Amino acid sequence: MADRRRRVIPIPFMQRTRAGSPSPVPAPRPPSPLAPRTTIVDAAIYADGRRVASPTSLAETYRALDETPGGVAWIGLYRPSESELHSLAREFNLHELAVEDAISAHQRPKLERYDDVLFVVLRAANYLDVPEEVSFGEVHVFVGANFVITVRHSESPDLSQVRHRMEHDPELLALGTQSILYAIIDAIVDGYAPVVAGLANDIDEIETQVFGGDANVSRRIYKLSTEVIDFQRATHPLTAVMDALELGSEKYGVTQELQRNLRDVADHLTQVNERVDDFRRMLRDILAVNATLVSERQNARMTELSENSNRQGEEVKKISSWAAILFGPTLIAGIYGMNFRYMPELHWLFGYPFALLLMALTSLILYWVFKRRNWL
């Protein structure tokens, strides 16, 4: 089995000192025997598309693979320790940069080839209906001639279903490690469909809220926009991964059957990306429409307030006009009602009719003035 992998002394990861010279990082300490920690979700050795061994540790997996002619190892890990990844790197000659990415996680979807080992980063998505959010998971896949290593740092994606489906299709599994990689990508892309449906339903509800005049819809539009952007960051870079896999199919001897499967997955991914792009445009348009409707409602409110103010002004004018008209006679009557002993016209025969006439004349003049100014 010398052609399976190269047994080499691992090159330690390098770090820079203050002087700028590289110095090796000490190898990580092995886990304490008092507190054993296993991160192997499932490990299996396959031959001719069928499981022939189910080792429970990395050492057993290495040994079983050596003892199985033409065997393929599929090792699934969940939040592995650095020592476990370094052990895999030594056994399967994994590149230190790829191992470093698998340790740190939080990578965007990408594909990198290091000699005969393919390193793929994928992001799964899951729609949460109650909080109306999209949760994301990340999986790192190392693919060699006779091994597949999956490293997960979150609960999703659940690759057990992928393994179960592959084990029930020995002919597909017998096509080699590339078939496992394509099955993983297919499962992740299929998992995007419920997310697309959930986002579409949210957008329909938002449209109803916008035209229903809901004052809190702007916050929901912004929140959903961020979810769509995050989802787009998970799906769009995967297109470049699919293109790279398709371009390398002939070079690396991928069968026609797997190439057809790859194109089918790429078609599904294209549909998802188109829907996501549509969602971004729709949310942008909805936000613009909502802003227009809010502005229209504000203008209508301002117009209503202005009309009310104008009506109040007209009422004030009428009240002020009648108050002024009544003020003239009141003033005259008040002056002649002071009852001083020496006042003009008190003993005049026509004093009283003259006072009444003056009151009436003053009122008529004021009425005529206010009427000409449209206050009455």
Mean pLDDT of the chain: 82
- Which carries the bigger pLDDT value, residue 314 or residue 23? 314
Q: In a 3-state reduction of DSSP, which class is residue 149?
A: strand
Confidence of residue 373 (pLDDT cuts 50, 70, 90): confident
Distance CA 214, CA 206 (A): 9
User: Please, how many CA atoms are within 13 Å of residue 108, restricted to the half-sphere of its CB?
Assistant: 12
What does DSSP assign to residue 340?
-
Q: Do residues 203 and 224 make contact, with C-beta atoms less than 8 angstroms apart?
A: yes
Q: How many Å apart are CA 372 and CA 173, to the nearest integer?
A: 99
Q: How far apart are CA 156 and CA 272, in angstroms?
A: 19
**Of residues 34 and 275, more confidently modeled:** 275
The per-residue pLDDT for range 299-329, each reduced to its tens digit, is 777 877 777 887 787 788 788 888 887 877 8
For 143-174, what is each residue's pLDDT tens digit? 998 999 999 988 888 899 999 999 999 998 99
Identity of the residue numbered 321 = S
DSSP string, 5-34: ----PPPPPEEE-TTS-EEEPPPPPPPPTT
Res. 298 pLDDT band, cuts 50 70 90: confident
Checking if the pLDDT of 119 tops 60, the result is yes
Neighbours of 288 (CB within 10 A): 10
* pLDDT value for 12: 36
Token pair belonging to 169 = 């299709």
Better-predicted residue by pLDDT, 234 or 5 = 234
Percent pLDDT > 70 in the chain is 88
- Give residue 346's pLDDT: 67
Domains parsed from the chain with CATH numbers: 1-174 (3.30.460.20), 311-372 (no CATH)
Q: Which of 7-16, 22-31, 98-107, 312-321 is predicted least confidently?
A: 7-16
Q: Distance of CA 10 to CAs 61, 62, 277, 310, 337, Å?
A: 19, 16, 44, 86, 119
Q: Give dist(CA 17, CA 15) in Å, integer.
A: 7
Q: Is the pLDDT of residue 221 over 50?
A: yes
- In tens, the pLDDT along 352-361 reads 787 788 888 8
H or E segment to which residue 358 belongs: helix 351-372
Separation CA 193–CA 342 (nearest Å)? 105
* Residues 64 and 45 sit within 8 Å (Cβ to Cβ): yes
Q: Which residue has the tokens 């429409």?
A: 289
What pLDDT, on a 0 to 100 scale, did the predictor assign at position 184?
94
DSSP letter assigned to residue 244: H
Lowest-pLDDT choice from 34-38, 172-176, 342-346 = 34-38
Q: 321: how many CB neighbours lie within 10 A of its CB? A: 18
Q: Which helix (H) or strand (E) holds 142?
A: strand 133-143
- Per-residue pLDDT, 369: 83
| β-bridge mates for residue 137, sequence order | 124
Least confident range of 43-52, 138-147, 341-350 = 341-350
Strands 40-47 and 72-78: antiparallel
- Other CB atoms within a 10 A radius of the CB of residue 292 amount to 11
